[in-house]
Structure 1
Amino acid sequence: MTQVLRSWWLIACAAVMSSSALLADVTGSILGVVTDPTAAVVQGVQITATNVDTNLVTETTTDSAGQYRLLSLPIGRYKLQATFSGFQTYVATGIVLSVDEQRRVDIVLNVGATQQEVSVSASAVQVETTNTQLGEVIDEKKILELPLLGRRYLDLFGLQPGVAPAGTRGEGPGTISVNGQRENSNGFLVNGGDVSGAANFEAGVQPNLDAVQEFRLITNGFDAEYGRFSGALMNAITKSGTNKIHGAAFEFLRNDKMDSRGFFDPAKGALKKNQFGYAVGGPAFKDKLFWFTDYQGDRQVNAGTASEVQVLSLAERQGNVGVQNLSGTVTGSYWAQVLSKRLARQVQVDEPYSAVFPDGIIPTSAFSPATNGTIGFIPTPNAGDNIFASAAVSKKSIDHKVGQRVDFLNKSTGNWSGYYYFDDFSRLDPYGASSFPTGFGSDDRDRNQLGTLSNTHIFSPMAVNDFRLSYTRLVARSVPAGSVAPSLESMGFITGAGTLGINNAGPTGGFRIRTP
């Protein structure tokens, strides 16, 4: 029994520490073969990769086949160096490592003194030969320089083939069709943490645009670790601090001063949108501890446009509809009995309504309880005989997004990285989910949080442990604001099971969705 348990323990350790598990969510790798001018492989070459921004140094040596592999490297800019006695030192610069990338750099060593150096500038474009996944990396340059309405980097999905330009079902950010798959068949990762929504697999966490280093959208040929999704997988990485302080501050303003009134609109509504914030990072201890923090605030007032709606005239509210508008006949004995009771006279089946109300006036005593209960919620005309003209009613929203990342580089314990994201959103909608002119306000409040902690420890060129812990919490809440919608019973409707009226279904009061 002890031998069996020991075998299973070794298998589990091998699975965790194998290189296949390091096709990592948030890192990349550099690999290649070292040869001499005769194309013979060279064993024992010292390979060193140095991160230009943080001075993180990772070393390995070539094996008997001349191959080397530097695993679990944080994304960024690297310098690669190869040294071996009797050969000139090889230095490659300009290597930009992207998320989940296996960058191949084959090295040819020339005979000469070690003090001599051969410098090579890496090509920015490389054909992928080590991975079958289809997709593209959207880097910082594209994220910041391409025009985006609302500063949503998810809108850049449309740059890749097979991606529909926009979602049609309105199930949340990121719910777009990829390669003909359903719009809620996509997955979303931020710094290795799953941030997909519980209801529609929408992007529950969207960091500040200036805090995103890059993201990869994989559209086909997923590795086994992404087997949950049939559409696409978005893997975003936020920026980390470097040995130099770098950052940006921004303010965007949009309002209605230059807007025109719509052709069919009597007036234009208010529009004012402010987006502001910052993103800055730097070293706490040079070459060891780095920080990066960001904030984005969003204030928006959007009134849409004013409108004119046809409502009941004052005469119609009293039952004076005009005999010319009374068509049809009394149908059924039950309805004839109801009218007879309300009018205190006998009404016959199939009697024309123009005969029941010969002067075109329906007395209020003939109104149904539902009519009496709902007519008070219909506004009276204020523009003409039967027109209600409304001023534009503003929807107001406030959004706060905060992100904080800390990176600690240490050879003995491995490299640590922690990230926390907090998004607090509130919106006051005067009409809620109702339509004009009968609307009841709603107060919508969302609070989304993400926390990740990871450690990458390189034990040897053949053994790397990658530990990652993430916690995502998405909360959406909507409660009535202002006038509360009345119950159907109070408006005179017959309700309840076993009746011919309306059977209530669905939640009552506040509606809340929680995902741990």
Structure 2
Amino acid sequence: MPRRHGTILPLSSPQAPLRLFGLPPHSPSIAHDINPKPWLSWKRRSRGLKTFPPMTSKSCVTHFRSCASETTDNFGVRGIRIQSLLAIALLLLCTVVRAADTLTGEARGEIQDIENDQPIDSASVTLTNTDRGWKKQAQSDANGNYVFIQLEPGNYSVLAEKDEYYSSERTDILIRLNTPKVVIPPFKLRKRVTTPTRQITVTSEGISRNVLIDATSAGPSPAVLATLNEPGQTALASTLDSTIRANFEAALIHVLPLRGVRSFDQLALFAPGVFRVPFSSGEGPAVGIGVGTAGQFAVNGMRGRSNNFTVDGSDNNDEDIGVRRQGFLSATPQTSESVEEFQVVTAAWTAEFGRNAGSVVNAVSRSGRNRLHGSVYGLFTNDAFDARNYFDQAFTDTINKGAQNGGSFPGKDNSSQQIGGVLGGPLREDRLFYFLSAERQRVRGSTLRHFVVPAKDERGLKTSNAFIPVDELGKFFQERFIPYSDIAGKGVFSLYPLPNNRYGPFGAHTYSEVKRHDADGTVFSYKSDYYLSSKHSLAGRYNLTDDHALLPFTSDAFHSSLGTATRTQNISLFLNSRFENFGSGLRISYGRTQLGFPPQNSSPFLFGSDVSNRLSGFVTQPIDTPYGRFGPFGSTGAIGQLMILPYSTVGIDVFNFPQGRVDNTY
């Protein structure tokens, strides 16, 4: 007797897995009480293998993940190759037996005799994908039940046939993403009659049905013998599924207006229990204080970093940050127009998803169809069409000079463009399809912020009857024969500009600064689907995001502009197989994130480099870094962030110094 945990079961017969787990042969309830294999997790940083005990679940899942960060470890190319081969080997040994997953759905129904409501055994049921033309077949069991598993989201038709019965077809059956218990209303079949019949079309409430009537019956309302064809009405309520989810179909995703640069993650905010993350600094991975987002959204009061993101069933999480793998402008790996369906599962999902406790966020990319189809789109915003924010007043710094000048702000300055297109079609009719999408994103504008800086009469020493500016302190103490050096004091105060906006929120202590928030991004994806047969399908997807952004302010500090360069890539392969009594799904995924912070003007390495701030006799030599040569520095030297209460912080947090890193996820 094979063991229930940690063993790949020999399937000597189609009924073997069902008998092993106590299910009768040919049962439509497939793989409902299968215990999973141990959950394997291997991360490069830990240099260890962690094995967690088996869990009771409604499906069997073996998952392997490896995460590498070149900023903390340096195993070299050989180590990465060994891990890649090991990951692929383990995945190929896994047989995943389940009724549904993050990528597919399931539909079931019943076939009855219209005269006595008794179930019809061994009726032939054919399910057809109306977009791509492929078909799947099943037979009803002794209870008249049938089930189809591993169905891609989309529109289907179902045809029920039985010898000596009139056939019946339901069209427009909608299968949604990861909705495992779609119930199709029962088919009512009638035995063939020997009397003359006639086929007519009946329209009621805008719905047309093809029905068969008795040609011998008299009167204006002849008796309807059977319904041959009618639009299907999928039952949305099911007692077989307790999961709470919100689904958004392509028709809604493509037309719903969304704020800023469109991304399908914004749709999650329409779901009950989903809220914006408070105190978030914007989009992008939060690598340090005041940089990036604390999470896409919060679900049911959980942290914003407690969500599990997948695309086409493959991992799309940033292992270091705990958010979606993303850039600072391109927030999602796919364009909104390339998504077939988006889903947020907020409660009661099955144990196969695992990982995080906040929510499960799924997206399925669009696939090609038998007909060539595509579109080109453009989205534009400009401050000429927007009202000015009441608190954003026009401003120009006329006080400070050089690098300390706060700049000029016209009152409103922001524009964005998204231009892209999608194209899909067949490479081989009914068998091989392609779909590609590309989008260019561009944001231009400036941001005005206000800070607290020391006023002119606070930059020195106050005595009982006088005020001595910091530039005169050296002379003041020298006349009193007190040893004193004013180099440090002058250096610190040289970092703080003079107040330049007495109408600002901090009155005479207000320093207003204007910085650019420009960004450019590219999003690209390609997907191919190959239907080997009615029981086996193979798909592959590659997506790329590449963006460069300028963050105007970080950590609520002035002089803290930060440049970003982010590239994310993901390649995924999917193999779905359906056998007589169970289904198998194989997912192989590799994701890579390259993140860099190239130095910008006013970055920490540039503090004090202005000639007017450089004092004689102090550090003046330049500093060489992997990003270039900086300096010569002024009286402060090369520092990071400086905080002197009660004034605002100046500079960039040391965690955000110019850097670069790469994360790999298997």
Normalised by the length of structure 1, the TM-score is 0.80
Task: Look up the match of 2:492.
Answer: 374
Matched residue SS, 2:274 = coil
CA contact (8 A) 1:440 1:483 kept: yes
Task: Look up the match of 1:351.
Answer: none
Matched residue SS, 2:239 = coil
Shift of 1:274: 1.3
Matched residue SS, 1:210 = helix
CA contact (8 A) 2:447 2:552 kept: no
Task: Look up the match of 1:288.
Answer: 431
Q: Deviations over 1:3-56 (max 9, x none)?
A: 989x94426994579996131211112212222121222111111000001001
Shift of 1:381: 7.7
Task: Look up the match of 1:498.
Answer: none
Partners of 1:465 and 1:306 in 2: CA distance: 55
Partners of 2:368 and 2:429 in 1: CA distance: 10
Matched residue SS, 1:21 = coil
Task: Look up the match of 1:73.
Answer: 151
- After the TM superposition, which of the residue ranges 154-163 and 112-121 deviates more from structure 2? 112-121
- After the TM superposition, which of the residue ranges 266-275 and 372-381 deviates more from structure 2? 372-381
Partners of 1:383 and 1:159 in 2: CA distance: 41
- After the TM superposition, which of the residue ranges 84-93 and 464-473 deviates more from structure 2? 464-473
Shift of 1:141: 2.4
Are 1:474 and 2:612 an aligned pair? no
Task: Look up the match of 2:231.
Answer: 121
Which of 433, 441, 445 lines up with 2:565 in the alignment? 445
Partners of 2:429 and 2:121 in 1: CA distance: 34
CA contact (8 A) 2:314 2:572 kept: yes
Task: Look up the match of 1:31.
Answer: 108
Partners of 1:325 and 1:89 in 2: CA distance: 103
Which residue type is aligned with residue 105 of structure 2?
A: G
Q: Deviations over 1:248-289 (max 9, x none)?
A: 211122222245475544232532211111122111221111
Partners of 2:431 and 2:155 in 1: CA distance: 17
- Alignment map for 1:488-503 (pairs within 5 Å): 491=635
Matched residue SS, 1:85 = coil
Are 1:157 and 2:306 an aligned pair? no
- Alignment map for 1:30-429 (pairs within 5 Å): 30-37=107-114, 38-101=116-179, 102-105=181-184, 106-112=186-192, 118-123=228-233, 126-149=236-259, 150-170=261-281, 172=293, 175-205=296-326, 206=332, 207-258=334-385, 259-260=387-388, 262=390, 264-266=393-395, 267-268=410-411, 270-305=413-448, 313=456, 326=467, 342-343=477-478, 345=480, 366=484, 368-379=486-497, 392-411=514-533, 414-429=536-551
Matched residue SS, 1:58 = strand
- After the TM superposition, which of the residue ranges 234-243 and 25-34 deviates more from structure 2? 25-34
Matched residue SS, 2:494 = helix
Shift of 1:298: 0.9
- After the TM superposition, which of the residue ranges 163-172 and 195-204 deviates more from structure 2? 163-172
Cα separation, partners in 2 of 1:393 and 1:161, compared to 1, 3 Å: closer
Partners of 1:33 and 1:398 in 2: CA distance: 54
Shift of 1:306: 8.0
Q: Structure 1: which 5+ runs fail to align?
A: 328-337, 348-364, 496-503
Which residue type is aligned with residue 417 of structure 1?
A: A
CA contact (8 A) 1:268 1:306 kept: no
Which of 577, 583, 591 lines up with 1:457 in the alignment? 577
CA contact (8 A) 1:27 1:100 kept: yes
- After the TM superposition, which of the residue ranges 366-375 and 53-62 deviates more from structure 2? 366-375
Cα separation, partners in 2 of 1:182 and 1:485, compared to 1, 3 Å: closer
CA contact (8 A) 1:19 1:463 kept: no
CA contact (8 A) 1:269 1:392 kept: no
Matched residue SS, 1:456 = strand
Task: Look up the match of 1:362.
Answer: none
Partners of 2:294 and 2:153 in 1: CA distance: 26
Shift of 1:111: 1.4
Shift of 1:296: 1.4
Shift of 1:469: 1.0
CA contact (8 A) 1:398 1:426 kept: yes
CA contact (8 A) 1:270 1:392 kept: no
CA contact (8 A) 1:90 1:118 kept: yes
Which residue type is aligned with residue 414 of structure 1?
A: H
Shift of 1:221: 0.8
- After the TM superposition, which of the residue ranges 227-236 and 257-266 deviates more from structure 2? 257-266
Cα separation, partners in 2 of 1:382 and 1:186, compared to 1, 3 Å: closer
CA contact (8 A) 2:594 2:661 kept: yes
CA contact (8 A) 2:590 2:664 kept: no
Cα separation, partners in 2 of 1:4 and 1:418, compared to 1, 3 Å: closer
Which residue type is aligned with residue 480 of structure 1?
A: P
Q: CA RMSD in A?
A: 3.9
Shift of 1:233: 0.9
Task: Look up the match of 1:359.
Answer: none
Q: Deviations over 1:207-227 (max 9, x none)?
A: 101111111211111111123
Partners of 2:418 and 2:367 in 1: CA distance: 23
Q: Deviations over 1:52-80 (max 9, x none)?
A: 01001000111223221111112111010
Cα separation, partners in 2 of 1:198 and 1:146, compared to 1, 3 Å: same
Shift of 1:244: 1.4
Which residue type is aligned with residue 164 of structure 1?
A: F
Partners of 1:36 and 1:413 in 2: CA distance: 29
Partners of 1:3 and 1:306 in 2: CA distance: 67
Shift of 1:428: 2.9
Which residue type is aligned with residue 372 of structure 1?
A: K
Shift of 1:432: 5.8
Partners of 1:474 and 1:51 in 2: CA distance: 36
Which of 68, 74, 98 lines up with 1:21 in the alignment? 98
Which of 417, 435, 449 lines up with 2:557 in the alignment? 435
CA contact (8 A) 1:88 1:113 kept: no
Shift of 1:463: 3.0
Cα separation, partners in 2 of 1:219 and 1:309, compared to 1, 3 Å: closer
CA contact (8 A) 2:453 2:498 kept: no
Cα separation, partners in 2 of 1:223 and 1:20, compared to 1, 3 Å: farther
Partners of 2:98 and 2:466 in 1: CA distance: 76
Which residue type is aligned with residue 375 of structure 2?
A: A
Q: Structure 2: which 5+ runs fail to align?
A: 18-59, 62-93, 200-211, 213-226, 287-292, 327-331, 396-409, 503-507, 609-617, 620-634, 640-652
Which residue type is aligned with residue 43 of structure 1?
A: D
Cα separation, partners in 2 of 1:251 and 1:505, compared to 1, 3 Å: closer
Partners of 2:371 and 2:193 in 1: CA distance: 35
Which residue type is aligned with residue 530 of structure 2?
A: F
Which residue type is aligned with residue 471 of structure 1?
A: Y
Partners of 1:320 and 1:182 in 2: CA distance: 47
Partners of 2:522 and 2:150 in 1: CA distance: 33
Shift of 1:391: 7.4
Task: Look up the match of 2:663.
Answer: 514
Q: Percent identity?
A: 22
- Aligned pair count reads 473
Partners of 1:73 and 1:132 in 2: CA distance: 20
Partners of 1:325 and 1:178 in 2: CA distance: 59
Cα separation, partners in 2 of 1:321 and 1:403, compared to 1, 3 Å: same
Which residue type is aligned with residue 459 of structure 1?
A: F
Which residue type is aligned with residue 366 of structure 2?
A: K
Shift of 1:343: 2.5
- After the TM superposition, which of the residue ranges 76-85 and 141-150 deviates more from structure 2? 141-150
Partners of 1:69 and 1:255 in 2: CA distance: 52
